[in-house]
Amino acid sequence: MNKIKAVILETTGSRCTVLADDGSFRSLPNSYGAQVGEEIELDADAGWADTYKQSWRAWHAWAAAAALLLLTLTVALGWNFAQASTAVALVSIDINPSIKLAVNAREQVVQATAVNADGEKVLQALELKNQPVPAAMSKILEQAQNKGYLTDEHSWVLVGLAPNGDKELPPALEEAVKSAGAAIQEKVNARMAVLQLSEQERIKAEQAGVSIGEYALWQSADKAGIKVEAKELKTKTERVRLLEAPEIQAQVLKDKGVLQIPGTQGKNDSAIKDMLKRDKDKDQDKDQDKDKDQNQEKEQAKNNEKDRANLIQGQERSSKANEDDKHEASEKQERGNSLQKSVPVLSPISPAPKPQANENDRIKEGSKGGDQELEAGKTFDDESERERSGREQKDR
């Protein structure tokens, strides 16, 4: 009896599905008690009645598994392709060749675009797509050096970084740019300034018609008190003038920008340190003034609270005094009413009897009457005497 080997693919209840050496799928009683993946031997002609039916079902199972695997690979490849082709950040390079790089989340170049004619001359011999940012920038700077754009006399490289849309700026992108600057410094005395913009500021830079780095440099100049039109930074001489100004270099460092200048003691180093120290002192003075103002506000708030408490206490005392006055007046009124009720009231119909005059009063009254009668009689006699005198004189 011929024997063939088979591998257990699936077990269901008391049966199992196997893949035989001859490539056939067979459904057999699982009398072996085998587990999935184990190898068994069986008769070459065993189970042929079930082989065709199970082979069809097994083929469907394998086809479904293969389709799922293909779909997974497609999604993964599609996701990787989307990541590789989606620009999450933009890098501007101004030497005077001006170039813009679109960078994906892996810090690889998605697209390199020349902004001016000099930029086209630099890019025409370079293939930068899918290159890591440090390698791409190194090639750009080397090409700019080879064509005479980047020399010891014209050594400034202005680099601008900004997110693209709502994407996050890759955290290692700045370090990648700095590494490219360090690499070129081994060949030429290059000086590099790296500045960043937000997405909103990047849009404003595009509206102003300048690169990311130029707009960021214009912002630093404005903060440092140097007034200049943003479009003037399109000229190399104006960019260099601003980049070499100590106050602007100090502002760049204050804004968390990067300055890569060869040599430990540049001609502006002491001036930059002095400016940074003055700015730090100013910030400390502002903080102290702010603390002082806050303390004064707290003290004023305490005094106001104390005044309010005193006012409330005064109102309470005044209110209590008014209540006491009212209570005292009420008690006086009650005492007056009680006193009035206790005094007897005389009737108007029965007047009080007049007191009787005593004997001395009657004698005085009589004497007074007699004196009045004597006075009246004397007056009458005087008038009669005058009338008689008058008649006698008339008779004469």
Mention every residue, 6+ apart, whose C-beta is less than 8 A from residue 96.
Answer: 116, 118, 149, 154, 236
- Whether the Cβ atoms of residue 250 and residue 279 lie closer than 8 Å to each other: yes
Q: What pLDDT score does 316 carry? A: 82
Q: What pLDDT score does 75 carry? A: 46
Arithmetic mean of pLDDT, 170-175: 83
- Per the structure block, which two tokens stand in for 261? 């200048």
Q: What pLDDT score does 317 carry? A: 82
Helix, strand, coil distribution of the chain in percent, nearest 5: 55, 15, 25
Does position 130 have pLDDT exceeding 50, yes or no?
yes
Comparing 19-23, 55-59, 190-194, 204-208, the range with the smallest average pLDDT is 55-59
Q: Kindly report the average pLDDT of the chain as a whole number.
A: 76
Domains and CATH numbers, the chain: 3-83 (2.40.50), 87-262 (no CATH)
DSSP secondary structure of 294-329: HHHHHHHHHHHHHHHHHHHHHHHHHHHHHHHHHHHH
Q: Which of 206, 247, 200, 197 is nearest to 226 (CA)?
A: 247
Does position 103 have pLDDT exceeding 90, yes or no?
yes
Q: What pLDDT score does 8 carry? A: 79
Q: What pLDDT score does 276 carry? A: 60
Q: What pLDDT score does 289 carry? A: 76
Arithmetic mean of pLDDT, 217-234: 93
Arithmetic mean of pLDDT, 33-48: 68
Rounded Cα distance between 300 and 291, Å, is 14
Task: Look up residue 234 and give its DSSP letter.
Answer: G
Q: What pLDDT score does 38 carry? A: 77
Does position 199 have pLDDT exceeding 80, yes or no?
yes
Arithmetic mean of pLDDT, 160-175: 85
Does position 294 have pLDDT exceeding 80, yes or no?
yes
Q: What pLDDT score does 53 carry? A: 42
The pLDDT confidence band at residue 14, using thresholds 50, 70 and 90, is confident
The pLDDT confidence band at residue 52, using thresholds 50, 70 and 90, is very low
Q: Provide φ and ψ at 297, rounded to 5°.
A: -65, -40
Arithmetic mean of pLDDT, 60-73: 54
Arithmetic mean of pLDDT, 51-67: 49
Question: If you average pLDDT over each of 51-65, 85-99, 323-337, which comes out highest?
Answer: 85-99
Q: Which of 234, 237, 254, 256 is nearest to 246 (CA)?
A: 254
Bigger pLDDT: 39 or 134? Answer: 134
Each residue of 336-372: pLDDT tens digit? Answer: 777 666 655 555 555 555 555 555 555 455 555 555 5
Task: Look up residue 186 and give its DSSP letter.
Answer: T
The angle at the Cα of 362, spanning 358 to 365, to the nearest 5 degrees, equals 140
Amino acid at 248: I
Q: What pLDDT score does 215 carry? A: 96
Does position 73 have pLDDT exceeding 60, yes or no?
no
Rg (CA), the chain: 60
3-state secondary structure (DSSP) of residue 369: helix
The pLDDT confidence band at residue 171, using thresholds 50, 70 and 90, is confident
Q: What pLDDT score does 83 carry? A: 44
Arithmetic mean of pLDDT, 15-23: 77
Bigger pLDDT: 295 or 158? Answer: 158
The pLDDT confidence band at residue 271, using thresholds 50, 70 and 90, is low
Type and span of the H or E element at 142: helix 133-146
The angle at the Cα of 175, spanning 169 to 177, to the nearest 5 degrees, equals 85
Does position 90 have pLDDT exceeding 90, yes or no?
yes
Arithmetic mean of pLDDT, 169-176: 83
